[in-house]
């Protein structure tokens, strides 16, 4: 008996504490559940990305091209010249650690290489060794290290554990933005064909068919038609959306996730109801496009060039159809691209001179803040309508909902969209409670699935990353009885239901225009029994 | 009982030790972060680890049934289940409580006596461990389910539509 | 370990100065040539680095927005955290550079046992950084009395405020205390906090020790060794007037101080200390956030980009589109 190890000793034998070592000496350990599968070579080939091949991250040999180091170094050199952000961020970090505990992946996993500063140091160390005098002379003493296959694998692993949410950049005294570093890092490893499939295949699909699932135009049309059926069942009124209509006033572009995946589909029904209402009441002329049917831009997670190629469709289609301006649906990284990149990327080449500064024909409001890009967010549009009393809203249909609001990363830190959705919320639901400060607005936590990390195979990573968000939701759920988490991003709507199911199963997820769609009273509609999800409305349960 | 009073007096220390055992599997930086001042929003995992450990210890000392600790244990294991740990690693802190209590007991009685006096405690901790396995597996199953459903969810509407067409064909 | 390396290095540097200027009597080298060279390296190096950064393009408008955007007129914009005017951007940069706005944000909501959430901010880093930088600045300005004749009133003013406590003789400067305390804090958090220790490198400890060494040698000189101030001023004035006079009889400790300062000046443009210049060039802070209102122009072009045009798209899907009544350009 006495020779048996005691529990703590037994436990000591399975001690998993990593050896105490400098981070540069800790080899990368690619764990299942935290990495995404390698890109399908067909997808890369379709969009002409280099070095497409079959490879497996778990294999020893990643089948790199022979001159891979040269490719990376040339890539870095080129980007140092082209992007001041990259160059400055490589040079000025003082490792103060203000960002260290701000990353949701670090908060959830405790993996030190998920601290933003260290994620960037993975690349900085190589930069120092190759591009700075000090690093070349003093090597490791100057914080430099050579680029090896091991280092490259580490890059790949951790660059796809960053959701480019920019939370760290809010706290950095120099504004160093890890998203920017991740973007550069991903561009670099893309030069070697090291993409993940959950990004590469949607990129190819968006390029070809206009949406990330590769749904062809007739099926896209059918999906929307199908929503119209549902809306007709619920309200007695059938929306008649227009597709690819030349001469329409406004082009509407939304993430295709809204068309294909629950609960985004309910948000999509919300858009349809809103536009139908406005058409009937005020003659608003909006068209959808099957060609530019994806607002979300997976190219953003690949390279600036791919982003440009995918994004070009929006202006090209606006020019072809001759619309005056564009409304964009509820999406996160789509709006980062639209707000901060689109006009620069494609404005000079593809924006038609016939487009005008967006002006709401119903209220007369001129959206001067979008004077150059000529595209506004649907919450800006809807908030303006509500402010002018143009919508007939019946809050009671959302009476069963106690809402809290998830500020999506990209619309928060890459745009600043905070009050527009909250203004709408106050007009469509009665019970609304914000999560505690420090977890919302510019300090909002990511859902954990941004920047192309929504693949099935990295579920654990997403759950770890989603813990800080879920923790704040759990708090308002327990304290105030919140049962619905609203958001304005298609990736949120895809990721957060799973996150909630795991961490706070009592809370479900919705988009903002789902609530608008529920509350909006279309003239001549029948008395609704159910909401857009087909659930009984409050007070209608017994009938 | 004398031992129970001792444990109650030493509750704080026991919790500390148990939290330490819980954190021992993480890298030093991770462990220090999780172990730092528990902050529900900035450090949710650390917060759950500490508060739930405290609650479990308190409940056990108050003679509660192990099943009453389910919710608290669930909180801890829900975090551990997504951290890429093997089941034994994820759960190893539970049996560690035996050793912690044993060490405490040995301060006042002889080792043989301690084992005898702790017999009931050992049984309860074993039950807690079994409960832990159930919870851990439940968590893993949700994850597998979500992985399996992911593709289905993404294309749910399309599938539904396809079925609808089928239904109309067969009825029509 | 990394901290020890750095400490050793600073000791070695101090020893070089002691031996060189003291034992070997190379006062001209350590008093004139090296400081002059160091100042030149600093000025040229600093400018060169900033110019290098400036030469890199800013292709996109990528500020981090930290407040409500400018949108509808009745929604209150956060004009500094999400500026849409040049004034706003300037104010944002001033807050950042002068008050370390972003570090100040480093607060954490805490849940108290009564169930309420309050800010228990972790402002120590902000406070430490602010104390360090400002005391350094004041000390730097105070030193200008060695390089000016007559000493401007402003510098004399700073000095008298700084020594208002009137303790000890020569009077104790408040900034000396604050400075040493702040540097010590910045060092201690690097060794005590595991996360920070993990990310810290020789390059982080070395400047701290170097600066601490400069501070301590200066304090030692002023309060304990009491070097001949007049002789020092003769030397420093010689430096700025290029007259190359090396007075005799200044204690070796002065040369240690001066040599460490020279090392700092040379090290500065090669290292992370360049954040002093870089902070002004950070595109996530110094750009106008109204990127939909004003078009930002990318100075370089993407070359040979292929687009998937509508024509190609329609050619592939025309039949299916016609089937659903979606309008097409070319009929079937």
- Give the pLDDT confidence of C157-215 residue by residue, as tens digits: 888 888 877 776 677 888 889 999 999 999 998 988 878 888 898 889 999 999 999 99
Share of chain A above pLDDT 70, in %: 96
pLDDT range class, residue C6, cuts 50, 70, 90 = confident
Cross-chain Cβ contact A261/B157 below 8 Å: yes
Cross-chain Cβ contact C109/B41 below 8 Å: yes
Chain A nearest-CA distance from C39, in A, is 19
pLDDT of residue A342: 95
pLDDT of residue B166: 45
pLDDT digits (tens, 9 = 90+) for A397-409: 999 999 999 999 9
- Going from the C-alpha of B112 to that of each of A98, B120, C247, the distances in angstroms are 52, 14, 82
- Per-residue pLDDT at A506 exceeds 90: yes
pLDDT range class, residue B159, cuts 50, 70, 90 = low
User: Which chain B residues have a beta carbon less than 8 Å from that of C110?
Assistant: 39-40
Query: How many Cα atoms within 13 Å fall on the side-chain side of residue C14?
Result: 19
Neighbours of chain B (3+ CB pairs under 8 A): A, C
Chain A nearest-CA distance from B163, in A, is 13
Considering the domain architecture, whether residues A230 and A191 belong to the same structural domain is answered as no
Q: Which of A447 and B162 is assigned the larger pLDDT?
A: A447
pLDDT digits (tens, 9 = 90+) for C236-257: 888 888 777 777 777 788 888 9
User: Which chain C residues have a beta carbon less than 8 Å from that of B32?
Assistant: 193-195
Average pLDDT, stretch C50-56?
A: 94
Preceding omega of C23 cis (within 30 degrees of 0): no
Q: Which of B25 and A504 is assigned the larger pLDDT?
A: A504
Lowest-confidence segment of A491-500, C150-159, C295-304 by average pLDDT: C150-159
Q: Which of C132 and C110 is assigned the larger pLDDT?
A: C132
Average pLDDT, stretch A410-437?
A: 95
The CA distance from C288 to C251, in Å, is 53
Range among B102-111, C2-11, C14-23, C90-99 rated most confident: C90-99
Considering the domain architecture, whether residues A211 and A266 belong to the same structural domain is answered as yes
Range among A414-423, C27-36, C239-248 rated most confident: A414-423
Which segments of chain C belong to CATH 1.20.950.20? Answer: 2-301
Chain B nearest-CA distance from C195, in A, is 5
Average pLDDT, stretch A282-299?
A: 92
- Per-residue pLDDT at C117 exceeds 60: no
Tokens of C320: 């299916």
Name the residue facing C308 among A207, A217, A304 (closest C-beta): A207
- Per-residue pLDDT at A67 exceeds 90: yes
- Per-residue pLDDT at B25 exceeds 90: no
- Per-residue pLDDT at A18 exceeds 60: no
Residue A134 sits at the chain C interface (C-beta within 8 Å): yes
Residue A534 sits at the chain B interface (C-beta within 8 Å): no
pLDDT of residue A543: 55
Query: How many Cα atoms within 13 Å fall on the side-chain side of residue A106?
Result: 22
pLDDT range class, residue B38, cuts 50, 70, 90 = low
Q: Which of A98 and B153 is assigned the larger pLDDT?
A: A98
- Closest among C202, C272, C283 to C49, alpha carbons compared: C272
Write the CB contacts of A278 (distance below 8 Å, at least 6 apart in sequence): A284, A286, A362, A385
- Show me where the domains of chain B are located: 2-171
Chain C nearest-CA distance from B74, in A, is 21
User: Which chain B residues have a beta carbon less than 8 Å from that of A213?
Assistant: 154-155
Q: In what order do the strands lie in the sheet with A250-253?
A: A242-243, A286-288, A250-253, A325-328, A375-377
One-character DSSP codes across B8-40 = HHTHHHHHHHHHHHHHTTS-HHHHHHHHSS-BT
Residue of B nearest to A436 (CA): B41
pLDDT range class, residue C119, cuts 50, 70, 90 = very low
Cross-chain Cβ contact A11/B96 below 8 Å: yes
User: Which chain B residues have a beta carbon less than 8 Å from that of C193?
Assistant: 32
Asked if residue A527 belongs to a domain, the reply is no
Residue A437 sits at the chain B interface (C-beta within 8 Å): no
pTM as predicted? 0.90
Residue C81 sits at the chain A interface (C-beta within 8 Å): yes
Considering the domain architecture, whether residues A161 and A253 belong to the same structural domain is answered as no
Q: Are A307 and A300 in contact (CB under 8 A)?
A: yes
Name the residue facing B28 among C108, C117, C194 (closest C-beta): C194
Residue of C nearest to B39 (CA): C110
- The mean pLDDT of chain B is 83
Cross-chain Cβ contact A457/B33 below 8 Å: no
User: Which chain C residues have a beta carbon less than 8 Å from that of A442?
Assistant: 65-67, 81
User: Which chain C residues have a beta carbon less than 8 Å from that of B35?
Assistant: none
User: Which chain B residues have a beta carbon less than 8 Å from that of C195?
Assistant: 29, 32-33
Lowest-confidence segment of A484-498, B148-162, C13-27 by average pLDDT: B148-162
pLDDT digits (tens, 9 = 90+) for A76-102: 999 999 999 999 999 999 999 889 888
- The mean pLDDT of chain A is 91
Chain C nearest-CA distance from A527, in A, is 31
pLDDT of residue B165: 45
Q: Are A447 and A496 in contact (CB under 8 A)?
A: yes
Interface A-B: count of C-beta contacts within 8 A: 147
pLDDT of residue A311: 93
Residue C102 sits at the chain A interface (C-beta within 8 Å): yes
Cross-chain Cβ contact A261/B28 below 8 Å: no
Of A195, A218, A235, which residue sits at a domain end?
A195
pLDDT range class, residue C90, cuts 50, 70, 90 = very high
ipTM, 2 decimals? 0.90
Lowest-confidence segment of A368-372, C27-31, C136-140 by average pLDDT: C27-31
Cross-chain Cβ contact C278/A308 below 8 Å: no
The CA distance from C285 to C62, in Å, is 9
pLDDT of residue B156: 58
Residue C111 sits at the chain B interface (C-beta within 8 Å): yes
Q: How many domains does chain A have?
A: 2
Asked if residue A473 belongs to a domain, the reply is yes
Cross-chain Cβ contact A260/B79 below 8 Å: no
Considering the domain architecture, whether residues A359 and A470 belong to the same structural domain is answered as yes
Q: Which of A109 and A62 is assigned the larger pLDDT?
A: A62
136-195 in C: which are within 8 Å (CB) of A?
189, 193, 195
Cross-chain Cβ contact B27/A111 below 8 Å: yes
Share of chain B above pLDDT 70, in %: 85
pLDDT range class, residue B172, cuts 50, 70, 90 = very low
380-419 in A: which are within 8 Å (CB) of B?
none
Residue A98 sits at the chain B interface (C-beta within 8 Å): no
Q: Report, at the CATH architecture level, how domain C2-301 is classified.
A: Up-down Bundle (1.20)
pLDDT range class, residue A12, cuts 50, 70, 90 = very low
- Chain B residues with CB within 8 Å of chain C CB: 28-29, 32-33, 39-42, 47
pLDDT of residue A3: 53
pLDDT range class, residue A347, cuts 50, 70, 90 = very high
User: Which chain B residues have a beta carbon less than 8 Å from that of A460?
Assistant: 82-84, 143
- Closest among C197, C153, C206 to C12, alpha carbons compared: C206
Considering the domain architecture, whether residues A322 and A457 belong to the same structural domain is answered as yes
307-346 in A: which are within 8 Å (CB) of C?
308-309, 312-313, 316-317, 320, 338-341, 343-345
Cross-chain Cβ contact B42/C195 below 8 Å: no
Considering the domain architecture, whether residues A169 and A233 belong to the same structural domain is answered as no
- Going from the C-alpha of C46 to that of each of A88, A460, C178, C284, C286, the distances in angstroms are 14, 46, 27, 22, 20
Range of the domain at A128: 18-195
Residue C309 sits at the chain A interface (C-beta within 8 Å): yes
pLDDT of residue B169: 43
pLDDT range class, residue B160, cuts 50, 70, 90 = low
User: Which chain B residues have a beta carbon less than 8 Å from that of A222?
Assistant: 161
Cross-chain Cβ contact A223/B102 below 8 Å: no
User: Which chain C residues have a beta carbon less than 8 Å from that of A176?
Assistant: 282, 284
- The mean pLDDT of chain C is 87
Name the residue facing B27 among A17, A436, A501 (closest C-beta): A17
Chain C nearest-CA distance from A382, in A, is 11
Residue C193 sits at the chain B interface (C-beta within 8 Å): yes
Q: Are A486 and A511 in contact (CB under 8 A)?
A: yes
pLDDT of residue A154: 94
């Amino acid at each position: 008996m006495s020779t048996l190890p005691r529990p703590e000793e037994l436990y000591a034998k399975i001690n998993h504490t990593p050896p105490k070592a400098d981070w540069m000496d800790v080899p990368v350990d690619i764990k299942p559940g935290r990495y995404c599968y390698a890109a399908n070579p067909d997808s890369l080939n379709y969009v002409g990305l280099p070095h497409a091949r079959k490879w497996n991250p778990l294999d020893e040999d990643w089948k790199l091209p022979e001159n891979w180091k040269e490719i990376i170094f040339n890539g870095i050199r080129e980007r140092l010249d082209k992007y001041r952000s990259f160059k400055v961020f490589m040079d000025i970090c003082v490792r103060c650690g203000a960002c260290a505990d701000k990353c949701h992946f670090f908060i959830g996993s405790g993996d030190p290489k998920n601290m933003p500063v260290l994620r960037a140091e993975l690349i900085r160390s190589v930069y120092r060794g190759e591009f700075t005098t000090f690093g070349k002379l003093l090597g490791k003493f100057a914080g430099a290290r050579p680029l090896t296959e091991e280092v490259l694998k580490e890059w790949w692993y951790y660059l796809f554990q960053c959701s480019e949410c920019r939370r760290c950049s809010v706290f950095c005294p120099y504004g160093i933005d890890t998203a920017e570093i991740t973007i550069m890092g991903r561009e670099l490893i893309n030069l070697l064909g090291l993409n993940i499939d959950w990004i590469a295949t949607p990129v190819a699909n968006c390029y070809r068919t206009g949406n990330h699932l590769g749904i062809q135009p007739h099926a896209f049309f059918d999906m929307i038609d199908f929503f119209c059926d549902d809306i007709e069942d619920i309200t007695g009124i059938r929306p008649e959306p227009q597709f690819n209509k030349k001469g329409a006033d406004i082009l509407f572009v939304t993430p295709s996730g809204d068309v294909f995946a629950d609960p985004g589909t309910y948000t999509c029904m919300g858009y349809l109801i809103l536009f139908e209402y406005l058409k009937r009441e005020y003659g608003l002329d909006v068209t959808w496009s099957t060609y530019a049917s994806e607002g979300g831009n997976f190219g953003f997670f690949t390279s600036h060039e791919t982003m440009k190629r995918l994004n070009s469709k929006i202006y090209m289609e606006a020019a072809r159809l001759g619309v005056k301006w564009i409304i964009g649906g509820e999406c996160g990284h789509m709006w980062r691209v639209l707000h901060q990149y689109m006009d620069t990327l494609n404005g000079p080449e593809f924006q038609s001179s016939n487009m005008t500064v967006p002006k709401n024909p119903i209220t007369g409001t001129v959206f001067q803040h979008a004077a150059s890009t000529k595209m506004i967010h649907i919450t800006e549009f809807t908030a303006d309508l509500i402010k002018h009393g143009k919508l007939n809203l019946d809050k009671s249909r959302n009476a069963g909902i106690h809402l809290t609001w998830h500020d999506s990363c990209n619309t928060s830190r890459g745009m600043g969209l905070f009050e527009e959705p909250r203004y709408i919320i106050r007009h469509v639901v009665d019970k609304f409670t914000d999560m505690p400060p420090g977890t919302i607005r510019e300090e909002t936590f990511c859902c954990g699935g941004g920047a192309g990390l929504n693949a099935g195979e990295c579920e654990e990573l997403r759950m770890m990353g989603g813990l800080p968000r879920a923790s704040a939701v759990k708090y308002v759920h327990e304290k105030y009885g919140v049962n619905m988490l609203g958001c304005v991003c298609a990736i949120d709507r895809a990721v957060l239901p799973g996150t909630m199911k795991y961490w706070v199963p009592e809370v479900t997820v919705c988009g903002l225009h789902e609530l608008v769609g529920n509350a909006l009273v279309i003239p001549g509609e029948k008395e609704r029994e159910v909401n857009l999800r087909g659930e009984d409305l409050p007070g209608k349960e017994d009938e | 009982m004398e031992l129970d009073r001792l444990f109650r007096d030493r509750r704080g220390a026991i919790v500390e030790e148990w939290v330490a055992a819980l954190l021992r599997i993480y890298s030093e930086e991770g462990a220090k972060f999780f172990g730092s001042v528990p902050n529900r929003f900035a450090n949710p995992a650390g917060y759950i680890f500490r508060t739930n450990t405290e609650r479990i210890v308190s409940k056990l000392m108050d003679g509660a049934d192990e099943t009453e600790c389910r919710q608290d244990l669930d909180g801890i294991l829900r975090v551990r289940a997504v951290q890429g740990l093997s089941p034994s690693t994820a759960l190893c802190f539970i049996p560690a409580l035996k050793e912690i209590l044993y060490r405490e007991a040995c301060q006042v009685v002889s080792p043989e006596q301690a084992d005898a006096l702790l017999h009931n405690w050992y049984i309860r901790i074993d039950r807690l461990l079994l409960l832990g396995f159930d919870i851990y597996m439940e968590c893993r199953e949700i994850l597998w389910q979500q992985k399996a459903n992911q593709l289905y969810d993404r294309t749910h509407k399309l599938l539904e539509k396809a079925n609808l067409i089928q239904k109309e064909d067969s009825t029509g | 370990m990394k901290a020890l390396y750095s400490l050793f290095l600073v000791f070695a540097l101090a020893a070089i100065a002691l031996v060189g200027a003291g034992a070997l009597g190379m006062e001209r080298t350590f008093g004139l040539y090296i400081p002059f060279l160091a100042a030149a390296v600093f000025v040229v190096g600093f400018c060169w680095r900033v110019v290098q950064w400036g030469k890199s393009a800013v292709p996109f408008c990528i500020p981090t927005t930290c407040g409500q955007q400018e949108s509808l007129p009745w929604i209150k914009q956060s004009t500094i955290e999400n500026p849409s005017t040049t004034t706003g951007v300037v104010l944002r940069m001033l807050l950042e550079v002068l008050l370390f706005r972003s570090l100040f944000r480093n607060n954490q909501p805490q849940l108290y046992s009564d169930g309420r959430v309050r800010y228990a901010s972790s402002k120590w880093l902000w406070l430490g950084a602010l104390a360090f930088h400002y005391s350094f600045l004041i000390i730097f300005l105070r030193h200008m009395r060695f390089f000016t004749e007559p000493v401007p009133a402003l510098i004399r003013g700073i000095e008298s405020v700084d020594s208002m406590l009137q303790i000890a003789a020569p009077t104790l400067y408040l900034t000396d205390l604050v400075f040493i305390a702040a540097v010590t804090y910045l060092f201690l958090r690097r060794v005590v906090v595991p996360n920070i220790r993990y990310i810290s490198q020789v390059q982080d400890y070395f400047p701290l020790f170097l600066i601490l060494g400069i501070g301590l040698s200066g304090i030692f000189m002023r309060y304990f060794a009491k070097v001949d101030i007049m002789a020092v001023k003769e030397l420093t004035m010689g430096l700025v007037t290029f007259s190359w006079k090396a007075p005799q009889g200044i204690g070796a400790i002065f040369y240690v101080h001066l040599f460490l300062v020279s090392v700092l000046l040379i090290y500065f443009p090669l290292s992370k200390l360049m954040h002093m210049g870089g902070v002004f060039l950070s595109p996530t802070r110094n750009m106008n956030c109204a990127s939909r209102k004003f078009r930002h122009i990318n100075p370089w072009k993407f070359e040979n980009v292929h687009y998937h045009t509508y024509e190609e798209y329609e050619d592939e899907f025309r039949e299916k589109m016609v089937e659903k009544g979606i309008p097409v350009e070319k009929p079937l």
